[in-house]
Every structure is written in structure tokens, then in C-alpha cells.
């Protein structure tokens, strides 16, 4: 179909009209003329599938294009392209597969879906010769997935470090600012603040325990390394146990605490490790300056050395902006008779967390008696964990030992912690925080 100016029209079917779906509809309407002028293609919102047609929504949609029948939308021969914004695994998976089977490219921001059944969907898209684009599934408005799929496709990437959850970054920023100003850095207060601003859900578990970032890390690892990595492969540790004391220690030693998604490829074995956990980042590292709800992704590779991608990682408008970019790409590819591809995915050999290596921060509350330091450092030595920094805070009953190790294996450090817990002179073993180098 062509518009009045002779430009071919791509008719879009949208599944869902929540924050992202509504924002996308507004962007398409606002930017349609500009896109047509630059690409020669007219974008049109043709149908929108919703659960409740009479429900209030953030965009005006005529009853004529609303439907409750999502499957009818994705199989409608008059729909050229489908945008999935309903979330979850089912029925999103079934609807995307049906759309692809009917020759329609699909754009989605559904990280949960891709982190669990992405490989099936990527293959279905390749078999159909149609796009499955998902820029907004990771870091929303930051154009990063496209860079991995295209600009860095041939790069031997060794490691990617990402602040890929805006909620946790906001909470940790508030706690760090409180410590820097002499406050108590209360986690609960910072979380309530994030909830009041709409950064955190009423039930924040997916964010603060690292599951949201873990899904994104699985997608990043899959695209970066060409290996099938799913959410269940990701090690998670959240921020709910981070204390003001740990943040204060990190600040005094020249670090800031961030929740990072980390994906790594062992250049010798090609094994992949994927994990999410609080991490001490040196003050001079680019990720240390990423504040509030912003996201950033730091890529390290053999040829590119390092590259940083920064921007808004959440919110209806930034997410819809990334979806809109994918819609334009998919529409152009559809008219050109081509499509993008993640490529063939190999089987990933996932390195267990016990076999990964890092530097570690560990704080101990200890008894006020002679021989404590000797007993404690002896446990480190017994397990082959070398100490890089050792400091004592306070005296008497408030004495606390703080250690930063040299790079050590996770299982050796965990064995050290278990034995320290059994020492009479150790009153309490604090949280274990991994440290990244420069």
C-alpha cells in the first residue's frame, strides 16, 4: 500500500498498549513524516491488541484499530510488521513465532523472553527470512545491541561490564552520596526513594536481587559470543545486603560500589562466565561516574581495546525510542527483501562461579586480643589467597580488619570465609564484595 505521496506504507500491529506501547504509538505518529522523507517509507499504526478495550491509556487509540485478539492481529495479512510489548514468556513466544511464520518481522523489548527462549526465536526468524530486533531489551535507549550485532560482530570480545539496572544504580548512588556527606546510607530509605520516583516497583525483588540485570547479561553474552546463554546460566547476587560500612570502606580505599553484569570469555578455553553482583569499581574507571538511574556498558576486546556506551537504561520514552529505531530498520529491510541475524549460536560451556577469579574485599569484626592478625592471615595463606591490602579500623571491642586480596579463585576465597567463620577470634565476617581492576 502507498500513501498519498506514493511512499510505500508499512502497517504496524502493536501487541500491548502499556508504557512502552503507548509511547511508541506517539513516536510513530509524531515522526512518521520525517521517517517518510528520509527513508521513503510511511509507518502507520494499523492495529493494537489489548486485554481491555475500555481501559484508560496514555495515548488516544480509536476503537476501530483496537482488538482483544492478539493472534488475529499477528496473522492478519494486512499487518506488515509486529511490535511485541506485552512482556512475559507466554503468550509472547507463541505470538512472535506466529508472526514470523506469517512473514512479518518482529520488534520486541522483552528481556525475560529472550533470556529464556531467545535461541528458538532467533532461529525462527532466520528460517522465515525476517527480522527479530530487540535493541530495547538491554539498556533501553542506549544503542548497544545493534553495535554488538553489527559494528563489533567480528571483534574478539573478552569482557563486558554493565550497569544495566537503573533501580539498583539509583539506590547505590543515594547510599554513596549519604556516606560521602556523613550520613548513614540506609538501604531501606534509598529503596523507598526509588519507589516514590517510579524507578523501583512495589515488589523490587527482580531489580535489587539482580534477576533483571541477569536476564540482560544472558542476552549480551549470547550476542557478544555467539553462544546460547540463558537466564539460568547467570550467577546472581543482589544489593539488599550491602551496608553503609562496606560502602564507606570502598570510598576510603578509592572505589565506588556498583551492581555490575559481567560477561567474560576465556581466550584459552572459550568458556563463558556470566554473573551479576555488587562490585567495587575504581574511582578512575568510567563506570564509577555513572550515577542515578543511568546505565552504561563497557566493552573490552582484542582490537577495539575498550569502548563505553552510556545513556538512559529504562523508562517508557527511552525504551520506545529504541523500539522505534528497530521498527525503522525492520521496515527498510522488509522492503529491501533482507533481514539481520544474530547468526548461528554455538553451545556455551558456562564456567561455574567457583572457577572465576577476582580481587575481593572482606571485612572482619574481631576480638580484642593478641594473635588475631596472625590467626586470620594464616587462614588466607592456607587457602592460597594472597592479601594486597590489610587495614585495621578502630580499637578494643570495635576492632575491625579489612582486607583486599590479590586476584584469587572464587572457591578458594569462599573456603577462606568458611574457615574464618569458625575462628574464635572472629566475631563476624562481613559481606564479600568483588573488585575489578582498572
DSSP 282-296: ETTSGGGG--TTEEE
Q: Report whether pLDDT(1) > 70.
A: no
Query: What is the C-alpha separation between 67 and 50, in angstroms, rounded?
Result: 6
Q: Report whether pLDDT(157) > 70.
A: yes
Alpha-carbon separation of residue 10 from 44, 65, 334, 390, 432 (angstroms): 6, 15, 9, 64, 53
Region 132-142: what's the mean pLDDT? 94
User: Are 40 and 7 contacting, i.e. CB atoms less than 8 angstroms apart?
Assistant: yes
Cell numbers found for residue 80: 506488515
- Residue 76's pLDDT band (cuts 50, 70, 90): very high
Query: What is the C-alpha separation between 208 and 86, in angstroms, rounded?
Result: 23
Report which DSSP code applies to 142.
S
Cell numbers found for residue 75: 496473522
Q: What is the pLDDT of residue 30?
A: 97
- Residue 100's pLDDT band (cuts 50, 70, 90): very high
Mean pLDDT is lowest, of 1-5, 115-119, 261-265, 385-389, for 1-5
Bridge partner list, 265: 272
Region 263-274: what's the mean pLDDT? 96
Please report where in the chains the cell 520514552 appears, as a residue.
317
Cell numbers found for residue 201: 516497583
Q: Is 216 a catalytic residue?
A: yes
Q: What is the pLDDT of residue 40?
A: 97
**Burial level of 309, CB count in 10 A (0-12/13-18/19+)?**
middle
pLDDT tens digits, one per residue of 170-211: 999 999 999 999 998 899 999 999 999 988 999 999 999 999
Region 43-58: what's the mean pLDDT? 96
pLDDT tens digits, one per residue of 304-325: 999 999 998 878 899 999 999 9
- Percent over 90 (pLDDT), the chain: 91
Find all residues with CB under 8 Å of 287, minimum gap 6, and list them. 161, 163, 258, 260, 281, 296, 298, 308
End-to-end CA, the chain: 55
pLDDT tens digits, one per residue of 285-305: 999 999 999 999 999 999 999
pLDDT tens digits, one per residue of 327-363: 999 999 999 999 999 999 999 999 999 999 999 999 9
Does the bond joining 350 to the residue before it have cis omega, within 30 degrees of 0? no
User: Are 146 and 297 contacting, i.e. CB atoms less than 8 angstroms apart?
Assistant: no
pLDDT tens digits, one per residue of 108-119: 999 999 999 999
The H or E element spanning position 251 is: helix 244-252
Question: What angle do the packed helices 166-180 and 187-196 form, to 10 degrees?
Answer: 130
Region 64-82: what's the mean pLDDT? 98
Q: What are phi and psi of 294, to 5 degrees?
A: -75, 155
Q: Report whether pLDDT(165) > 70.
A: yes
Hey, what domains does the chain have and what are their CATH numbers?
A: 9-140+316-344 (3.40.50.720), 152-311 (3.30.360.10), 354-435 (3.30.70.260)
Say how many C-beta atoms besides its own lie within 10 A of residue 391's C-beta: 13
Find all residues with CB under 8 Å of 1, minimum gap 6, and list them. 8, 9, 11
User: Are 265 and 225 contacting, i.e. CB atoms less than 8 angstroms apart?
Assistant: yes
Question: Per the residue annotation, which of 216, 227, 258, 351 is the catalytic one?
Answer: 216
- Percent over 70 (pLDDT), the chain: 98
Region 240-261: what's the mean pLDDT? 95
SS3 341: coil
SS3 218: helix
- Residue 399's pLDDT band (cuts 50, 70, 90): confident
Query: What is the C-alpha separation between 212 and 217, in angstroms, rounded?
Result: 9
Query: What is the C-alpha separation between 212 and 149, in angstroms, rounded?
Result: 22
Measure CA 366 to chain center.
Answer: 38
Q: What is the pLDDT of residue 4?
A: 57
Find all residues with CB under 8 Å of 103, minimum gap 6, and list them. 128, 130
User: Are 166 and 294 contacting, i.e. CB atoms less than 8 angstroms apart?
Assistant: yes
Cell numbers found for residue 417: 570465609
Please report where in the chains the cell 485478539 appears, as a residue.
69
Strand spans (E) along 62-209: 66-67, 81-84, 106-108, 132-133, 157-163
Q: How crowded is the C-beta side of 213, counted as CA atoms within 13 Å? A: 34
Amino acid at each position: 500500500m502507498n500513501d498519498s505521496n506514493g511512499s510505500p506504507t508499512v502497517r504496524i500491529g502493536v501487541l500491548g498498549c502499556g508504557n512502552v506501547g503507548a509511547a511508541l504509538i506517539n513516536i510513530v505518529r509524531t515522526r512518521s513524516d520525517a521517517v517518510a522523507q528520509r527513508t521513503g517509507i510511511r509507518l502507520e499504526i494499523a492495529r493494537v491488541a489489548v486485554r481491555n478495550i475500555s481501559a484508560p491509556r496514555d495515548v488516544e487509540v480509536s476503537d476501530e484499530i483496537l482488538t482483544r485478539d492478539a493472534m488475529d492481529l499477528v496473522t492478519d495479512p494486512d499487518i506488515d510488521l509486529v511490535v511485541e510489548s506485552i512482556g512475559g514468556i507466554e503468550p509472547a513466544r507463541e505470538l512472535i513465532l506466529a508472526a514470523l511464520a506469517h512473514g512479518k518481522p518482529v520488534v520486541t523489548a522483552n528481556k525475560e523472553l529472550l533470556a529464556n527462549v531467545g535461541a528458538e526465536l532467533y532461529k525462527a526468524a532466520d528460517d522465515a527470512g525476517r527480522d527479530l530486533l530487540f535493541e530495547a531489551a538491554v539498556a533501553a535507549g542506549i544503542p548497544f545491541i545493534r553495535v554488538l550485532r553489527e559494528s563489533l560482530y567480528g571483534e574478539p570480545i573478552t569482557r563486558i561490564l554493565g550497569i544495566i539496572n537503573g533501580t539498583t544504580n539509583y539506590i547505590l548512588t543515594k547510599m554513596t552520596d549519604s556516606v560521602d556527606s556523613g550520613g548513614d546510607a540506609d538501604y531501606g530509605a534509598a529503596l523507598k526513594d526509588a519507589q516514590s520516583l517510579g524507578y523501583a516497583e512495589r515488589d523490587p525483588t527482580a531489580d535489587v536481587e539482580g534477576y533483571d540485570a541477569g536476564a540482560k547479561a544472558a542476552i549480551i553474552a549470547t550476542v557478544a559470543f555467539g553462544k546460547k546463554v540463558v537466564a539460568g546460566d547467570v550467577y546472581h547476587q543482589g544489593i539488599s545486603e550491602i551496608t553503609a560500612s562496606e560502602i564507606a570502606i570502598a570510598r576510603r580505599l578509592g572505589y565506588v560500589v556498583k551492581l555490575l553484569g559481567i560477561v567474560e570469555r576465556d581466550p584459552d578455553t572459550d568458556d563463558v562466565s556470566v554473573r551479576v553482583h555488587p562490585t567495587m569499581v575504581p574511582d578512575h574507571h568510567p563506570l564509577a561516574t555513572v550515577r542515578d538511574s543511568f546505565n552504561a556498558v563497557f566493552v573490552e576486546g582484542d582490537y577495539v581495546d575498550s569502548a563505553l556506551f552510556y545513556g538512559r537504561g529504562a523508562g517508557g520514552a527511552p525504551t520506545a525510542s529504541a523500539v522505534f529505531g528497530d521498527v525503522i530498520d525492520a521496515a527498510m529491510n522488509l522492503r529491501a527483501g533482507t533481514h539481520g541475524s544474530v547468526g548461528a549460536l554455538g553451545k556455551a560451556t558456562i564456567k561455574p562461579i567457583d572457577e572465576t577469579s577476582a580481587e575481593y574485599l572482606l571485612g572482619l569484626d574481631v576480638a580484642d586480643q593478641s594473635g588475631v592478625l596472625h590467626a586470620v592471615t594464616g587462614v588466607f595463606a592456607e587457602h592460597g589467597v594472597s592479601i594486597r591490602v590489610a587495614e585495621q579500623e578502630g580499637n578494643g571491642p570495635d576492632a575491625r580488619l579489612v582486607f583486599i586480596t590479590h586476584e584469587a579463585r572464587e572457591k578458594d576465597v569462599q573456603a577462606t570465609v568458611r574457615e574464618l567463620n569458625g575462628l574464635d577470634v572472629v566475631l563476624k565476617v562481613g559481606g564479600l564484595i568483588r573488585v575489578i581492576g582498572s
